[in-house]
Chains A and B, each alone.
Chain A
């Protein structure tokens, strides 16, 4: 049981740590050369966080398979906290990398350009995306804590 608690709680801790570089983004956006630098740094950070979440989820799943799923609520909320946070982070990464530094995957629109034309014109700013991310994470963790029993 303690293993799970430990596993679930760090999931939210790094979420806070990502705050610092992101919120400092707009302040340093003035110089042109640092834009790509910061964007890459930011994406790397998100990638690391996502990899960590995969690890956390994997460990919990492994524990569930090996040691049984007795407090099923606890397992579920821990696991879905990891999955949900991963998904949210992936969404944040998409939003920020698309509108930001010339989009890391322009080729993704190659074949379906016909449909994808109007795709990215919603233009969600980084701050808005991050605020949404916080909003989603808050709801997610509220549900998880409520569900953990």
Chain B
């Protein structure tokens, strides 16, 4: 989309400065427009709808903010989630996203543009991705002297699938604005280091504060900036500019980050933030040492300095360990450990490991998300080594760290993408600059000198990189790569990242589109047919959606702040009915919601997530729930004839397959997800009754029966009822088989 136009600028390198400035603005605007446009697939294909899971909470919180004002949002205690406990929502969220869209909404209203808050939320991510492209341009221009690098980087950032994956229209998540803030903070930081001015440092701190208010990933910035400074110090590159930039950023940024209630005292209590504090202390020492050195020339000084630094470092480290052990400073958070030891989460915190975006990245994903940028990336990093200024050190550190992190966790691909765009743009612009502007008589650079030698020696046909053939070849190849990149990005965006996952789409045999809207159907049923405070129990994945779409209280949701509560739900799902029913009663559960994909072949259903429920429950009640019991003696996870008794008696299994065989001729019931034939006789539910099943059976809702009026056991009641029914059934045969909806 935008590549050919950025090539244009390169070709017109000799035109006047004004023309180039104008062109640059036009190109940047085009890039921003392309960035926005390529994210609109989902709106065009489906509708303006909030996607996935977390965005539904953000959307609900934004609505609350818009309706009730800022102060009640700040103090919001939400009693409609985590049912018996509630959640101090105002103090446990990152408010940046909601406040941003709230402000935009108010500004639009002020301009008398009546717009629905939902549309603001849906369009927020594409809008900010346009801004990200601009920030990327600024950042890359700080890195490279070539004017084309910035434009290329902006274009790459605009359409790289690695970033699009989290910022399509409707993906109203924290990352939507956080990536822009991150890139812009880095730009300001580089500016601050280059200029050594308090103003840039303070601006960095302000945007850092905004970033802290928007995304938990701010820890990445909190660690990478001190690391940059630390490496600079180790390289013997202490300068007053670094001192000014860093200390200003730290002093203001830390205070700024503490303004967010969710962060609070973390910056001085948590080990994640200690490196920043340590480097702050270190740079004070170094500055002081430099100051003293002005008065004390001498060789012993060097020795004094190193010993002093080592001593302080040792004392500081020992103090940190002591404080951590004694509990004053919180140890590293679990998510952090799982970054270093990929097996850690699986053993200690199954709830973190159970999230698919916390899994390690498969290597094709790098190519899928970044295409040809990924192999230009090392070249760009290598070029940073050639002119190793302060800002290039930053690029190198960022590149190394984020490539590691992206390899550990799928979702951290998001932090890798900006630096890949920077490095690839630097490499590509160097190639293009060298080849396209080579025709001048006086070769200014080294490559040109080589070329002129060729030119002079070969008198016949023009060979070497001066000839137009080689130029054509190289630029043609690169253009081809760029075009393939654009095609790839468009394809990936439209096919992989534009599904709302609330509404599913599939193809009919004749090629026409078939929309599967079971989620909204079921949530709307809940909204219409249940009392306002009916408690819904489901696995935590669906908590936010139930809260947002059905507006009913839930037991657990995607906030996952209370592992025990989630384990309780897991236990209820994975135990026998006799065990589960008391749990359901104790938690006032009125309805239980399960997702079942067996009929349609929808693989993201609860039976496939079931093992995680078992594992999480086992983490709390190792005696009552055992993962081993759900596997057959040969270690297989089966749902058919050979399923273990524990499996067949678990509430989840029963709810999923309840009445399922009635859809098929006797003994022919097939589960299309797991591709197995089910037992002829379906499970029997005693304590729950089926309340609703959506069109394609994706969502099934069961009502928890009240206690029996005669004080009988539920199984007895069912047996009794069956006895009666059997008698009646002999009288009138037909209608019982039909499922009425």
Contacts and interface: CB of A to CB of B under 8 A. Distances in A.
A107 B247 contact: no
Contact of B251 (A76, A83, A147): A83
Contacts of A120: 240
Interface stretch (B139-147, B288-296, B561-569, B645-653): B288-296
Contact of B254 (A80, A106, A131, A146): A80
Contacts of B244: 91, 94-95
B290 A105 contact: yes
Nearest to B247: A87
Contact of A139 (B205, B237, B238, B287): B205
Contact of A119 (B198, B241, B290, B291): B241
Contacts of B194: 122
B27 to A, nearest CB: 29
Nearest to B255: A143
A133 B197 CA distance: 9
Interface string B320-337: 000000000000000000
Contacts of B434: none
B81 interface: no
A147 to B, nearest CB: 6
Interface string B240-255: 1101100110111011
B682 interface: no
Contact of B255 (A112, A115, A131, A147): A147
B216 interface: no
Interface string A73-117: 000110010011001101110110010000011111001100110
A78 B380 CA distance: 45
A92 B196 CA distance: 10
A136 B248 contact: yes
A144 B195 contact: no
Task: State the majority secondary structure of interface residues on B.
Answer: helix
Contacts of A105: 290-291, 293-294
Given A87-B248, A129-B198, A136-B199, A104 B255 contact: no
A71 to B, nearest CB: 12
A140 interface: yes
A55 interface: no
Contacts of A129: 197-198
Task: State the majority secondary structure of interface residues on A.
Answer: helix
B529 to A, nearest CB: 47
B326 to A, nearest CB: 15
Most buried by A among B194, B235, B240, B254: B240
A80 B255 contact: yes
B190 interface: no
Interface in B208-248: 235-241, 243-244, 247-248
A76 B263 CA distance: 14
B248 A91 contact: yes
Contact of B206 (A112, A128, A139): A139
Contact of A90 (B195, B206, B287): B287
Contacts of A70: none
A99 to B, nearest CB: 10
Given A95-B196, A122-B241, A132 B255 contact: no
Given A111-B236, A115-B239, A132-B197, 11 more contacts: A76-B258, A84-B251, A87-B284, A90-B287, A91-B198, A105-B290, A112-B237, A116-B239, A119-B240, A135-B199, A140-B251
8 tightest CB-CB pairs across the interface, nearest first? A105-B294, A84-B251, A132-B198, A87-B247, A91-B244, A143-B255, A94-B240, A132-B199
